[in-house]
A and B are shown apart, each in its own frame.
Chain A
């Protein structure tokens, strides 16, 4: 099972993410993003909203480097948060031959948003894979 940890960064916020597959890594980076945006873990957000259904946003990303897929996914969600004031609550990923298909569930509950994120940055962005463990560190500009 994947995990993430918020880390210190002088001016901004960083996360270290770890997972057992690249798909799980994508999913955990979004969980980390949810945590930064709401200052709550995703499971707490889900508990708060109960059975309410969210709005589904579809996103298809061409298979590129893992780093680029992560940044495209995160920055798309940041765009949706900023423009529609929606809060991401879950992510469903389907892998096709040449693409990843993301279904982002978002809820209209702007009071849950506690932090403005400008963007996920490319700073020293590198996915490392070792013995089927995938790791990445992401710095968010806030």
Chain B
């Protein structure tokens, strides 16, 4: 079949291939169903995926997740693994919001007992966690401390009293990528990042209080510490202006080298072995570490907000970090390439790592289950906690989707919402929403997103990740 100029060949259940043609170095594969495949809206993102397949040193396939949608350079929901020896790293394949990710915090409250406290708790969080355009945090990093954040990530925040040692166990990479050198980061990035730690940001960043509405895998849920009707906090943010500036700085440096002809200037790339490639990876790690520190500080703010309302300690409320996942990042990992283990640089742009049971890179207590994968949906429907499955290692370099994916552009969403009171509509459904901007609420309204149930169905069919629990929002905070 063809979608516009893109030829699509069905190669599995909800799996299509774009055959290698022209400047493509490998074929592209995308996990979508027949309906998505025949949609004209998918076409632009497939063109972007085809462009990704032109990256030097790319292995096996350029891969699109079911929440794929039009981005810049890479599509959102795009994955590329490039050879460490003779492949490239592409800052556009990570994006500006380096290590944008999601963290979930468990509680031992049930929906029923929490309901009457919801508004008080959400308002306390809203008061405590800075959010919205231009928000700055309570921390002003001097150069020495900024360097330590860059080098140590979430561990820096724990040392400063923003959490417990145990929190670090439940972060991908324990909340720190080693090898970040502060010298690879510009003064502009330092300036932009010095006062933004502990802030949520704006746009699609959010904090949500949900309850567990359904458990699909009781054994896995028990290991993760999840039970029916449990209240769970999930939030989505990244490296803020610090990461944006690092990405922009390196795109500028790379464009001057003009090493490869690529179909889109946003895909500008550099060999991983080149000193500039190494410098980018070092700076990117620094931004990733900043993002982990940011999510750790927000964790403390959330715990403090609960403590202020309930007058109980975080441990008395069972406020343990379930997991912290990154969905905009490049990491050096070992994967099976045609029967041989090879080191590759896995770019995940709007895609989540999904390592299965037995992986050495996940917390020991989850090793029999697979890593938790946190999939926010939209603020009116549902979100999911999945677990990594072995199919991801064969089919997608250990990767799965990252959310529902946008169905409407922001302008379309605002146009469709017209004068609707989105917060009021959600309140009628029992969801309390606090937002700095009413326009953001329209842009982020539930209809602006695809149905996350359909996305999760596809990743499960393909053995990339399996459902553990479904969450329904009770309260949402937006920037």
Q: Are chains A and B native binding partners rather than an unrelated pairing?
A: yes
Asked if A123 meets B96 with Cβ closer than 8 Å, knowing A11-B71, A79-B188, A118-B244, the reply is no
CA A4 – CA B241 in complex, angstroms?
26
CA A121 – CA B191 in complex, angstroms?
21
CA A8 – CA B416 in complex, angstroms?
13
The answer to whether A122 and B437 touch across the interface, beta carbons within 8 angstroms, is: no
- Chain B: which residue is nearest A81 at the CB level? B134
Does A75 sit within 8 A of B, measured CB to CB?
yes
The answer to whether A122 and B134 touch across the interface, beta carbons within 8 angstroms, is: no
Give the distance to chain A from B129, nearest Cβ to Cβ, in Å: 16
Query: Pick the contact of A83 from B133, B241, B248 — CB < 8 Å?
Result: B241
Asked if A85 meets B134 with Cβ closer than 8 Å, knowing A8-B412, A12-B72, A123-B72, the reply is yes
The answer to whether B437 and A8 touch across the interface, beta carbons within 8 angstroms, is: no
Does A142 sit within 8 A of B, measured CB to CB?
yes
Asked if A124 meets B134 with Cβ closer than 8 Å, knowing A75-B248, A119-B248, the reply is no
| Chain B residues, Cβ within 8 Å of A115 | 133, 202
Does A139 sit within 8 A of B, measured CB to CB?
yes
Does A129 sit within 8 A of B, measured CB to CB?
no
| Chain A residues, Cβ within 8 Å of B248 | 75, 119
The answer to whether A6 and B265 touch across the interface, beta carbons within 8 angstroms, is: no
| Chain B residues, Cβ within 8 Å of A114 | 133, 437, 439
Interface residues of A in 105-126 (CB under 8 A from B): 110, 113-116, 118-119, 121-125
| Chain A residues, Cβ within 8 Å of B411 | 6, 8, 13
Does B73 sit within 8 A of A, measured CB to CB?
yes
The answer to whether B133 and A67 touch across the interface, beta carbons within 8 angstroms, is: no
The answer to whether B70 and A82 touch across the interface, beta carbons within 8 angstroms, is: no
The answer to whether B192 and A82 touch across the interface, beta carbons within 8 angstroms, is: yes
CA A66 – CA B265 in complex, angstroms?
13
Does B62 sit within 8 A of A, measured CB to CB?
no
CA A71 – CA B255 in complex, angstroms?
12
- Chain A: which residue is nearest B132 at the CB level? A116
The answer to whether B69 and A10 touch across the interface, beta carbons within 8 angstroms, is: yes
CA A124 – CA B71 in complex, angstroms?
11
Does A43 sit within 8 A of B, measured CB to CB?
no
| Chain A residues, Cβ within 8 Å of B406 | 10-11
The answer to whether B96 and A122 touch across the interface, beta carbons within 8 angstroms, is: no
- Chain B: which residue is nearest A140 at the CB level? B72
CA A14 – CA B112 in complex, angstroms?
45
The bracket for how many chain B residues form the interface is 35 or more
The answer to whether A79 and B96 touch across the interface, beta carbons within 8 angstroms, is: no
The answer to whether B97 and A122 touch across the interface, beta carbons within 8 angstroms, is: no
The answer to whether B255 and A68 touch across the interface, beta carbons within 8 angstroms, is: yes
The answer to whether B412 and A124 touch across the interface, beta carbons within 8 angstroms, is: no
Interface residues of B in 213-242 (CB under 8 A from A): 241
| Chain B residues, Cβ within 8 Å of A122 | 72-73, 92, 251, 255, 264-266, 268
The answer to whether A118 and B409 touch across the interface, beta carbons within 8 angstroms, is: no
Shortest beta-carbon contacts, A-B, top 7: A123-B72, A122-B265, A10-B70, A8-B409, A121-B72, A116-B202, A118-B244
Chain A residues in contact with chain B, CB under 8 A? 6, 8-13, 39, 67-68, 71-72, 75, 79, 82-83, 85, 110, 113-116, 118-119, 121-125, 139, 141-142
Chain B residues in contact with chain A, CB under 8 A? 41, 44-45, 69-73, 76, 92, 95-97, 133-134, 188, 191-192, 201-203, 241, 244-245, 247-248, 251-252, 255, 264-266, 268, 406, 408-412, 437, 439, 479
16 contacts between A and B (CB under 8 A): A9-B70, A11-B409, A12-B71, A67-B265, A68-B252, A82-B134, A82-B244, A113-B133, A114-B133, A116-B203, A119-B96, A119-B244, A119-B248, A122-B268, A123-B265, A141-B96
Other CB < 8 Å A-B pairs besides A11-B71, A118-B241, 14 of them? A10-B71, A10-B409, A11-B76, A72-B252, A79-B188, A83-B241, A118-B97, A119-B96, A121-B92, A123-B265, A123-B266, A124-B266, A141-B97, A142-B203
